[in-house]
Amino acid sequence: MSAQFGKAQLFFHSEQNDGEAWLIAERGRILRRWVSEYPELALGEPFGVERRLLDAYGITGKPEDLAPDSDLAGDWAATWGDCRATTVAEENSVDPTKAAADTGSISGMLVAAAPPFE
């Protein structure tokens, strides 16, 4: 989609602590993919709010590079460093949980909801 439209973003946020995920792509290239439940699937470099929060936790690299059993990884994973998909979405485009129904079109944004798994 980003190759055709310039930018494409995907965000997953769970209110039940099932994890956080985002994918941000521009011009056909993935800039960052993060899946909190599967850090080994991460791609790209953290940037924006993710990078600032990692710095605040003293994590100079990427969260996916931390030893899973380290105290630092445990501290980050306990709250995902307060780096929720909705926060990343708000910084990169719009937080759909804050968009009002009467706002109208937000610069061509397309939001899709998937049914829950059964």
Q: Are 63 and 76 in contact (CB under 8 A)?
A: yes
Q: Which of 47-51, 95-99, 102-106, 112-116 ranks highest by mean pLDDT?
A: 47-51
Task: Report how far apart, in Å, the C-alpha atoms of 60 and of each of 10, 40, 48, 64 are.
Answer: 25, 18, 14, 12
Q: What is the pLDDT of residue 31?
A: 96
Quick one: what percent of the chain has pLDDT higher than 70? 81
CA distance linking residue 44 with residue 25, whole number of Å: 10
Residue of 14, 12, 22, 66 lying closest to 44 (CA atoms): 22
